[in-house]
């Protein structure tokens, strides 16, 4: 048995992206993902023992807005992981995180405001408000 949680293919800012962000955040107005975080759950034993797999392709770039968007996407990935822990389900997260161990620390380390103009249609969920 394989269960997909992909939503529907759409363009950033479209209803499917908003639905995924809203589902993760609990904020119906959230539209803060510009790329899906596809999740698949595989019954590895045929007896209901699920393994979750999540793929991500986080925002690339080094300016503050790119880092802010990547931090928001990482926060949503953390929400998926927290749900898997609550369910007792092993989870593998993989993909292109656009970060390397040798990267310099974020500047600023903490965002106290959105560092620029977000893409059209992108609305931060309540838990990501700065």
pLDDT in tens, 59-111: 998 888 888 999 899 999 998 899 899 999 999 999 999 887 787 777 777 88
Q: What is the pTM of this model?
A: 0.80
What was the pLDDT predicted at 18? 52
In sequence order, the 6+-apart residues with CB closer than 8 A to the CB of 27 are: 21, 125, 126, 127
Q: What is the mean pLDDT of residues 119-124?
A: 86
What was the pLDDT predicted at 9? 40
Given a cut of 70, is residue 124 above it in pLDDT? yes
Annotated domain spans of the chain? 2-128
Of 43, 37, 42, which is closest to residue 56 (Cα–Cα)? 37
What was the pLDDT predicted at 12? 43
What was the pLDDT predicted at 20? 73
Contact 93, 56 (CB under 8 A): yes
Burial 45-58 (b: 16+ CB within 10 A, else e): eeeeebebebebeb
* Cα 43 to Cα 48, 86, 92, distances in angstroms: 5, 18, 14
Backbone phi and psi for residue 42, each to the nearest 5 degrees, phi listed first: -115, 130
pLDDT in tens, 45-58: 888 888 988 889 99
What was the pLDDT predicted at 58? 92
What was the pLDDT predicted at 88? 94
């Amino acid at each position: 048995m394989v269960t997909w949680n992909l939503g529907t293919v759409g363009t950033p800012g479209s209803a499917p992206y908003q639905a995924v962000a809203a589902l993760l955040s609990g904020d119906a107005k959230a539209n803060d993902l510009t790329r899906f975080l596809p999740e698949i759950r595989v019954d590895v034993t045929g007896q209901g023992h699920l393994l979750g797999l999540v793929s991500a392709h986080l925002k690339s770039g080094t300016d503050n807005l790119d880092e802010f968007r990547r931090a928001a996407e990482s926060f949503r990935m953390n929400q998926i992981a927290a749900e898997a822990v609550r369910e007792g389900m092993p989870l593998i997260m993989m993909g292109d995180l656009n970060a390397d161990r040798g990267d310099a620390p974020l500047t600023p380390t903490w965002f106290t405001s959105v560092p620029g103009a977000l893409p059209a249609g992108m609305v931060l969920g309540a838990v990501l408000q700065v």
